[in-house]
Each structure stands twice: as structure tokens, then as C-alpha cells.
Amino acid sequence: MKKLIIDARMKELWPSVRVGCMQYKVKVEKKNEEMWSYLKKDIFKKAKDNIFDHGVNDIPNIRESRLAYKAFGKDPSRYRVSSEALIRRIGQGKGLYEVNTVVDVNNMISIESGFSVGSYDTANIGDELIFRIGREKETYKGIGKEEVNIENLPVLADEKGAVGSSTSDSERAMITESAEEVLTLIYSFSDNKDLEKALEYGRTYMEKYAGAREIKCWVVE
């Protein structure tokens, strides 16, 4: 089991930050047709309803994430929390990229909850992890991108440095079909019980659509 702590400075700037954790064994597949059918029929509709009811910036849990980014010193309109970016794609009719069963379920949890969700190959991250604020001039190679400026972003790091963020993860621990064990993290900046709910249905989705097994769930505060 990986160990995660939240940095004291992050808690000082945004006391309600918490992280929901799921660690599990899995055989990553290319696609789950049943999941995509459910996603397009139910989750896309919910996302569009949320946009209609609130406007993207004020969707619950996205709103709080944007405020947290401002508190950390990052412009949330320039560096969007990943859940907001996904929901904006749906609202614009662009749909989502099909990646693999774990990443696709990861994105579904994010869209439904409004929280940023990241999944990491446990073979490529350390056992001791910290959720902290990105350091001055800190960068990493993003997935499908060049160097990402993670200064002042909320980032996940181990002894080798930053490996992910609630905006865009690095290539180092990205999920491929060779991954055998995964750590999925739900990043919450909200003072509500939605994190526990997301962890509960997230576990169900991972079991049903990604074949996750031996799942361990916990919340870090």
C-alpha cells in the first residue's frame, strides 16, 4: 500500500483539501463498450445538465477547485482543473478520448463528481507520496504534451519529484496496458461529503468496467 500525506503549507492555504485513494490490481484493456454506452447516455447528460444549471465555473466541486487554485497562486482559467476541462469538452460536443479501461473510468468518475481524478501505475511511483504545491520553475513532461509548468499547481510527488497534478499528469506513471496495479486518487478541495460518495461509486465503476480487484479505499485529510 502506498502512503500519502498532504503538505502542511497546502492545508494552511486551503484547509478543506482531502484526497480519496483507491489502490487495486487490474488487467488494463483497450475499451469497455458497456461503460461507454453508460457514459454517453447518463454521465454526459448529467454533465450537460450541470452546465445548464450552474455554468461550468460554478459546478459544485469545480467551483471550490478553482478557488483553491487561486489561493495557491495559479490562474484556474489558464490551468484548468482536469474535471473542468473534461466537462467543457462535453459541453462543446467534442466528446472524450478513448484511452483504456482504467483511464476511461477515471475520467467518468471525474465528470460525475466534479473532482479531478488521477490514476498512476504503482510500479513507477515511490511508496511515500506527498500532495503539495508545485515549486518555483518546477515542470515535467506531460501526457501527450511538452513540459508542463506545474509551479503553484497542486501536485503529487515522490522522492524522484512530481509525478502528477490535478490539471495534467506526467508520463512517468501513466496507465498503459502493461500496468498491473494502480493507485487512483480523487483530489477534493471541497468541504462536503461528495468525496466519500465519489470513492464509493468510483470503486463500483472500477470493479464493473475495468475489472479492478483487491481494492483498498481510504481518505487522506
Question: Which pLDDT score, from 0 to 100, does residue 81 have?
Answer: 95
**What is the reported pLDDT for 108?**
95
**Could you tell me which of 74, 80, 190, 52 has the C-alpha nearest to residue 138?**
74
At residue 145, the pLDDT reads 77
Taking the C-alpha atoms of residue 211 and residue 219, their distance in angstroms, rounded to an integer, is: 22
DSSP string, 108-131: HHHHHHSSEEEEEEGGGS-SEEEE
Average pLDDT score over the chain:
95
The pLDDT of residue 55 is 87
What percentage of the chain exceeds 70 in pLDDT? 100
pLDDT under 70 in the chain at which residues? Answer: none
pLDDT at position 49, please? 87
If one counts every other C-beta atom within 10 angstroms of the C-beta of residue 72, the result is 21
pLDDT digits over 131-179, tens only? 999 999 999 988 887 888 999 999 999 999 999 999 999 999 999 999 9
Task: Output the nine-digit C-alpha cell for 64.
Answer: 471550490
Distance between CA 144 and CA 75 in Å, rounded? 22
Distances (CA, A) of 64 to 15, 57, 115, 131, 208: 12, 9, 9, 17, 30
pLDDT of residue 69: 98
Report yes or no: 142 and 171 within 8 Å, Cβ to Cβ.
Answer: yes
